[in-house]
Amino acid sequence: MTSTVPAPVARTADDSALQAVLLDMDGTLVDTEGFWWDTEVDVFGELGHRLDESWRHVVVGGPMSRSAAFLIESTGAAITVGELSVLLNERFEARIADRVPLMPGAERLLAELARHNVPTALVSASHRRVIDRVLLSLGRDRFSLTVAGDEVPRTKPHPDPYLLAAQALGAHPSRCAVIEDTATGVAAAEAAGCRVVAVPSVGLIAPAPGRTVVGSLEDVDLAFLRSLISPLN
C-alpha cells in the first residue's frame, strides 16, 4: 500500500477486544536479519571497507536511509546514501532469491490469524520491492494490507507506519497487538500506542509496561495476543 489511507476494512476478531495484529517482517516473520548484515558486509568489502560487528545492533531494524548513512559515516566509503540503498536492495534480493526461511512459529501463527479472520497487517521498514519478494514466501493473501518503509514520510522508529496500518484496518492503536524483533520497531509501535510483543532477534529487549518479551513466535498464539488487551466495556 502507499501512504494514502484506504477505506477501513470490517473487523471480525470474534468477541475479543483485540481489533488487529500488526507484524514486522525481517527477523520477526522471516529469518532475514542475518541476510541483511551479510549483504552489507559484502558490499562494503567490495568498497574496500570492513564492518565492525558491533555496528550490527545499530543498523538492525532501522530504515535503509538511516542504516546506509551510519555505515557510510563510520567507514568513510565513497558512495552516497541513495547509491548504497539501491545497491543493498539489489544484492539482498539476489541473496534471498525466490524463497526465504520463515521464523519458527510464523506459519502457524499466520494460519491461525487467517482462520479466525483477525485483520492482519505487515508493517516493515524494508522497501516495497523487498516486501513484494518476501511475500512470495509469506503469502500475500495472509495480510489485509502491507506498509513499506519507502511508502511513508517517516518510517520506524517513528509511529507513522503503525498508525497508518491501524487506521486502514479501522482499529484503535491501543486495541492492536504488534509483534516486533528490534528496539527500533518496538519504539515505533509503542509510540503509536500499541501493545507490543517483542521477539528479539539481534540484541536484548527488556520487558516494560505495555510490552511483553518472548523467546519465539512458538510462544505466541491468538489466545495469548487477546490476553494482552483488556476486554471492551
Mean pLDDT of 206-232: 93
Range 219-231 average pLDDT: 93
Q: Per mean pLDDT, which range of 99-103, 147-151, 217-221 is the poorest?
A: 99-103
Does the pLDDT of residue 64 top 60, yes or no? Answer: yes
* Mean pLDDT value across residues 23-51: 90
Average pLDDT of the segment spanning 76-86: 92
Look up cell 514466501; give the residue: 137
**Residues 114-134, mean pLDDT to the nearest whole number:** 94
- The stretch 49-71 carries a mean pLDDT of 84
Q: What residues contact 46, with CB distance under 8 A and at least 6 apart? A: none
Q: What is the mean pLDDT of the chain?
A: 88
DSSP 140: G
Residue 67 is which amino acid?
Answer: S
Residue 159 has a pLDDT of 97
Complete edge-to-edge strand list for the sheet that includes strand 20-23: 145-147, 120-123, 20-23, 176-180, 195-198, 211-213
Are 138 and 128 a contacting pair, CB within 8 Å? no
pLDDT in tens, 25-34: 999 999 887 8
Please report the pLDDT score of residue 98 as a whole number. Answer: 64
**Whether pTM exceeds 0.85:** no
